[in-house]
Structure 1
Amino acid sequence: MEQQEDRFTDPAYRAAVVDLLGTLAYGELSAFIRLSTDADLAPRLSAKADMAALAATEFGHYDRLRARIVEIGADPEQAMVPFVEALDAFHERTKPSTWLEGLVKFYVGDGIASDFYREISAYVDDETRDLVLGTLEAGQRMQFVLQEVRQAISEDPIQGSRLALWARRLVGEALSQGQRVAADRDSFSTLLSGTDEHPGMGLVGIVSMFSRLTEQHTRRMAEMGLSA
């Protein structure tokens, strides 16, 4: 543990972790807000309750991330601010118009983001990695989304074609967003590319990572019953 904590004496590494936790925290906070709003589109009370439960989970994740940012001596708001404009722009460009589009966006967008941060977590200290992986744990909260989308497609196959097109748009926007975040923040670039003391995945590894993100998206599409 002492060796792990010593990494925070490196300003570049500390900045990278603050950025990682900051972007995750704002992602979880904005997910809470969006899910709370999307619950109004739910066709049944039980679905509204399920959406509220998803929102509550996202806020719980945000609260744990905020606490860790404070613990390592950073300000949570300052840690999140650099990512507000980019993430808000992504959500503005991909605003769902229906209940099902909102579910697919949550499943696709959350999935790609989770894969991205899971890859990055391999290059941070154990405590930060455990927090990140715990935040990304989907488990049963995704089963509700899968069930709703699959049921809708079985009742109306044409709906499946429309949602597949929507999901393809989402993955393009999400991957572009991830590339922009990784490129725009020097701390992220350092974490991914690595340093002499703390090797990262390197440039070739970064290209391979985005290929893996696309493959994982294809798998999720199949799980929903949509063609990639």
Structure 2
Amino acid sequence: MKESPGVVDLLGVLAYAELSAYARMTEDAATLAPSLADRAALSELAVTEFAHFRLLRDRLAELGADPGEAMSPFVGALDAWHAQTRPADWLQALVKTYVGDGIALDFYREAARLLDPSLVKLVDEVLVDGERSQFAVERVRAGIEAEPAAAGRLALWARRLVGEALSQGQQVASARPELALLLMESQQEGQTDISRLFAKLTEAHNKRMAAMGI
């Protein structure tokens, strides 16, 4: 298989993103969930994130890469993102899971467009967020219905998340030239440019905001 430049970097950052999501969801389930049903539901989603991490880890090993080494360049940026966007309550945690993680994963999905088909399939599998999206949207909408004033607060939180996520993406790309090249090549193939990419990301973000009612 002919690998695209930056493929190990892309799988490495995704693997660490999934591992971090698992750890964060587990913590949020234990400390922020308002009911045992919510704790169980979020814990189940966390298990799915860990399964995605294992798929990526195993594929990195198949490619002859050390999974730990592939993930290590991205630990600082992703840990900083989570530290800077630690949710204060349950609704903030759900918005972060849906909006903040969503725009970051959209960014990586674009970078995967020109990979080998088997890798594209893997990336699509680990980036699927149907159950997570439905869970977050239902809980946030219910929270806003119970407390309408929460909508404005959550909208401000979502805007902050997007700013931090885009900043994180820029840091990762600048630190890993091959990953940045992979992203640029995917955009050239689609006869577009980075401004179009960010417009696409913003459009997806606006749809998520609308889905949650904020």
Structure 2-normalised TM-score? 0.95
Aligned to 1:28: 18
Q: Kindly report structure 1 stretches of 4+ aligned residues shifted beyond 2 Å.
A: none
Residue type matched to 2:8 in 1?
V
Structure 1 counterpart of 2:204: 216
Where structure 2 has 5 or more consecutive residues not aligned to the other structure, the ranges are none
Q: Does 1:162 align with 2:162?
A: no
Equivalent position amino acid for 1:58 in 2: E
The letter for the 1-side match of 2:28 is D
Q: 2:131 aligns with which of 140, 151, 158?
A: 140
1:84 and 1:76 mapped to 2: Cα distance?
Answer: 13
Q: 2: CA distance between counterparts of 1:156 and 1:172?
A: 26
Pairing partner for 2:27 from 33, 37, 51: 37
Question: 1:184 Cα shift?
Answer: 2.0
Please, what is the CA RMSD of the aligned residues?
1.3
Q: How is 1:196-215 mapped onto 2 (pairs within 5 angstroms)?
A: 200-202=186-188, 205-215=193-203
- Equivalent residue runs for 1:71-220 within 5 Å: 71-194=62-185, 200-202=186-188, 205-220=193-208
Deviations 1:98-144 (A, max 9, x none): 11111111111221122112211111111111000000111123211
Q: Counterpart of 1:122 in 2: which secondary structure?
A: coil
Residue in structure 2 matching 1:54, options 40, 45, 59: 45
Letter in 2 for 1:156: E
Tell me the alpha carbon deviations over residues 192-222 of structure 1, each in whole angstroms, 9 at most, x when there is no partner. Answer: 233xxxxx42495222111110111011000
The structure with the larger Rg is: 1
What is the Cα deviation at residue 95 of structure 1? Answer: 0.6
| Aligned-pair identity (%) | 52
SS at match of 2:34: coil
Aligned residues: 211
